[in-house]
């Protein structure tokens, strides 16, 4: 019989505990999976899988070996001041999650490329407002952030025949995508883009990267898509540039404040599509494969994969 793996504690207000427990135990039958509210012996907990747990959460468990961020974005986790030192942190990097995100990004890119906001407005006026479609090859899409999610999205975009630019911190190679790296190349990428897609993690370097000056650099009539984090962008400046028409339209899944407050002017903008932070979510059945492999690695005294670098911020 396989040796017992010990206990994993689960905390999330957004994800269903029983579904995750079933998915994890299907991979690791000897792993005890316990909800944070039901932990009797915190000293027996070796693994914590959590999304935005309360302050002091990890400090209750003196024998933790692994922290699993229940999501792809780790900004909320690495910003905490109560992380136990030296415990590896991993995040969800599931191909199914990448596919869901790539689907959303492709939808958003096509929405702008095919002038759907224009037709939606015309329909509301009862108007047959013909606008000749542009060829995909004549539209440049810039995908900023080429990580687990961004690389997959950029690949899908280029497969549709768009001229696709990619941007990251270190050099990347993606077939069909013209990749640039480093801060000194960002403006050159933006200057060419008809559609800008933000897929960067929120870090001290990227917070506020899209300030007023940078947003003003976007081509007149460009479209803006943000599926990363709201605080990468000066939202007031984005709103003004949308109002003035400098930025034509936007698809926004993330905001400076979430939920987006009821009176926010973005709600009323006819060419802005707002979705409530769900471009992609962790899927228990497929994510459990990656989580289980990491738990087995740690139990065997090895380094987990996809470890995040808290200093770098992602
Ligand atoms: P990764 O950590 O795998 O990749 C991050 C990418 O951004 C890498 O290409 C990295 O460069 C690049 N990057 C980081 N910092 C900089 C910088 N200063 N300058 C230029 N490039 C930079 O992230 P994922 O692809 O997994 O996810 C991206 C983000 O998407 C997450 O951090 C999260 O915030 C967001 N997200 C949103 C969801 C939603 O539902 N809206 C769901 C899931 C995630 P390099 O390649 O050199 O490391």
pLDDT tens profile 74-128: 999 999 999 999 999 999 999 999 999 999 999 999 999 999 999 999 999 999 9
Q: How far is CA 310 from CA 61, 74, 211, in A?
A: 20, 9, 25
What are 136-153's pLDDT values in tens digits? 999 999 999 999 999 999
Q: Active site includes 277? A: yes
- Give the atom of ligand 1 at the shortest distance from the alpha carbon of 149: 25
The pLDDT of residue 57: 96
Whether this model's pTM surpasses 0.95: yes
Give the closest residue to 194 by CA, choosing from 174, 161, 215, 218.
Answer: 218
Decide: 303 and 297 in contact? Cβ < 8 Å.
yes
Catalytic site residue from 60, 118, 217, 277: 277
Q: Active site includes 132? A: no
Q: Is 203 in the pocket of ligand 1 (CB under 6 A)?
A: yes
- Domains by residue range for the chain, with CATH: 6-94+282-299 (3.40.50.720), 96-274 (3.40.50.720)
Q: What percent of the chain has pLDDT over 70?
A: 99
Which residues are 50's β-sheet partners? 11, 69
Q: What percent of the chain has pLDDT over 90?
A: 98
Q: 264 phi and psi, to 5 degrees?
A: -65, 135
Q: Is 180 in the pocket of ligand 1 (CB under 6 A)?
A: no
CA-based angle 236:237:241, to the nearest 5? 120
Region 294-309 average pLDDT: 95
- Give the atom of ligand 1 at the shortest distance from the alpha carbon of 200: 7
């Amino acid at each position: 019989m396989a040796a017992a793996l010990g206990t994993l504690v689960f905390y999330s207000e957004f994800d269903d505990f029983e579904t995750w427990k079933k998915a994890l135990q299907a991979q690791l039958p000897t792993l005890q999976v316990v909800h944070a509210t039901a932990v009797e012996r915190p000293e027996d907990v070796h693994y914590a899988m959590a999304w935005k747990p309360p302050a002091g959460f990890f400090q209750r468990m003196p024998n933790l070996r692994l922290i699993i961020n229940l999501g792809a974005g780790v900004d909320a986790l690495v910003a905490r001041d109560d992380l136990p030192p030296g415990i590896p942190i991993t995040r969800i990097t599931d191909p199914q999650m990448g596919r869901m995100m790539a689907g959303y990004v492709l939808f958003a890119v096509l929405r702008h490329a095919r002038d759907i906001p224009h037709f939606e407005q015309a329909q509301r006026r009862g108007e047959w407002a013909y606008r000749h479609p542009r060829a995909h090859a004549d539209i440049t899409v810039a995908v900023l952030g080429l990580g687990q999610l961004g690389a997959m999205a950029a690949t899908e975009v280029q497969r549709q025949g768009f001229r696709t630019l990619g941007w990251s911190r270190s050099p990347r190679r993606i077939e069909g995508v013209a990749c640039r790296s480093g801060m000194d190349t960002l403006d050159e990428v933006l200057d060419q883009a008809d559609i800008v897609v933000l897929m960067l993690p929120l870090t001290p370097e990227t917070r506020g990267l899209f300030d007023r000056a940078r947003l003003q650099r976007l081509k007149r009539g460009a479209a803006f898509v943000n599926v990363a984090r709201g605080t990468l962008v000066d939202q007031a400046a984005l709103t003004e540039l949308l109002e003035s028409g400098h930025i034509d339209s936007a698809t926004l899944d993330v905001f400076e404040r979430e939920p987006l407050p009821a009176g926010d002017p973005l709600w009323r903008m006819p060419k802005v599509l707002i979705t409530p932070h769900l471009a992609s979510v962790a899927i228990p059945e497929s994510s459990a494969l990656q989580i289980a492999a990491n738990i087995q690695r740690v139990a065997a005294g090895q380094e987990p994969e996809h470890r995040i670098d808290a200093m770098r911020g992602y």
